[in-house]
Amino acid sequence: MNITILGSGFAALTAIKTARKQAPDAEITVISPKDEFIYLPSLIWIPSGMRKGDDLRINLGNFFRRQKVQHIKASVTNVTNGGRTVVTDQGEYQNDGLIIASGGRFIKKLPGIEHAITPCEGISAAEKIRDRLNEMQSGTIAIGFGGNPKEPSAMRGGPMFEFLYGIDNLLRKQGRREKFKLVFFNPAPEPGKRLGAKVPVNLMKSMHKKGIETHVGHKMVGFEANKVKTEGGEIEADLILFMPGMTGPAWLADSELPKSEGGMIRADQFAKVEGYEKVYVAGDAGSFPGPDWQAKQAHAADLQAAAAAENLVKELQGRSDFVAFKHELICIVDTLTHGIFIKRTEKGATLLPPCRLFHFAKRIFEKLYLRQYR
């Protein structure tokens, strides 16, 4: 039994652990450009100095050895032969079963988007924000996010609220908040609605209370070096942070795999790729059925990956008692000092007010989560 897993992010690592547990004797091959894992949720703490890049960069050599997997350093260029062949820049690799967990990519189509920093692109982006903030004596900081109009779930807005509140708190701590203007922008009239019906109103109230200006409900037009352009006007800014919507991996466009309208791999409730045998997808690369409040986040990727790996092993064993992955959105929106706990399931939404305890809970969770991969 040869199982191949593409990627080395949240979904891929959970798929490795689950597949090994379900099939102790399987041959597991992992294909990704690097044998390292970046803990993206904690990028929010780099501008304040609470975290350094090396704190969040985990070499996976020990983890791969413990899990008895073979790692191939390569970039995927296609998946062919009904999923049995993975084409890479280092050659072709065959498999009996495949899990695609190679992540998505940000849509960089807006004119002038190179003038904005996209924080979740990685450690270097967060360090650039840190350095720019240290250089600035005063000015306007514009922070916002967009979506994929053809794939509502393909957005990552939570971290941008964290950067917004984190920078506000950092400047206050440094005693220079009054020298800066913070502006939050978003094309949606009610940003944060997928987190729960009450969230947009509460967010707007908290921003107003903190002196953060808002510019919402206007379609994005583009950027200039010191300007955010929308159909509802322009925002002059000295620093722009923007998280665009997401789409599938670059190689997917030319692949035979079924694609959603938003450019992601179409899968069912079992994380199985539509129309394919023994091919599964988990995390940001996939488009899944379910509620309209689905989001691209690490917790969702873990849930999808666990189901994908379990179901793949069952299919390889000739079984059909597949498990559907759970739809659940859980996050702590951190402000550097406090955390706002948000949970959404099919039963409803929970929003708890800012609490110092949740800030520390997020830090403890990071420590425990990373321990298993060190």
Q: Which of these three, 267, 288, 316, is where a domain ends?
A: 316
CA-CA distance, 340 to 342, in Å (whole number)? 6
Token pair, residue 130, equals: 């840190």
Instruction: Answer yes or no: are the C-beta atoms of 308 and 280 closer than 8 Å.
Output: yes
Burial 44-54 (b: 16+ CB within 10 A, else e): bbbbbeebeee
pLDDT tens string for the chain (374 positions)?
999 999 999 999 999 999 999 999 999 999 999 999 999 999 999 999 999 999 999 999 999 999 999 999 999 999 999 999 999 999 999 999 999 999 999 999 999 999 999 998 999 999 999 999 999 999 999 999 998 888 877 888 889 999 999 999 999 999 999 999 999 999 988 888 777 777 888 889 999 999 999 999 999 999 999 999 999 999 999 999 999 999 999 999 989 999 999 999 999 999 999 999 999 999 999 999 998 888 889 999 999 999 999 999 999 999 999 999 999 999 999 999 999 999 999 888 888 989 999 999 999 999 999 999 98
Residues 225 and 259 in one domain: no
Domain-ending residue, one of 215, 245, 275: 245
Which structure tokens are listed for 241? 């942070």
d(CA 279, CA 302): 17
Last residue of a domain, one of 268, 291, 316: 316
Number of domains in the chain: 2
Task: Say what the pLDDT of residue 349 is.
Answer: 86
272 occurs within a structural domain: yes
CA angle 130, 135, 139 (to 5 degrees): 100
192 and 213 share a domain? yes
Q: Is residue 9 assigned to a domain?
A: yes
DSSP 8-state secondary structure symbol assigned to residue 151: B
Give me the CATH number covering residue 53: 3.50.50.60
pLDDT value of position 207: 94
Angle at 171 between CA 168 and CA 174, to 5 degrees: 150
Residue at 338 is within a domain: no
Residues 68 and 140 in one domain: no
Q: Which amino acid is at 5?
A: I
Residue 341 lies in a domain: no
pLDDT at 19: 98
Query: Which pLDDT belongs to residue 51?
Result: 97
Identify whether the C-beta of residue 99 lies closer than 8 Å to the C-beta of residue 312: yes
Q: Which domain holds residue 225?
A: 107-245
pTM of the model: 0.94
Q: pLDDT value at position 20?
A: 98
205 lies in the same domain as 252: no
The per-residue pLDDT for 194 is 76
Query: CA 271 to CA 278: how far, in whole Å?
Result: 11
**Structural domain includes residue 327:** no
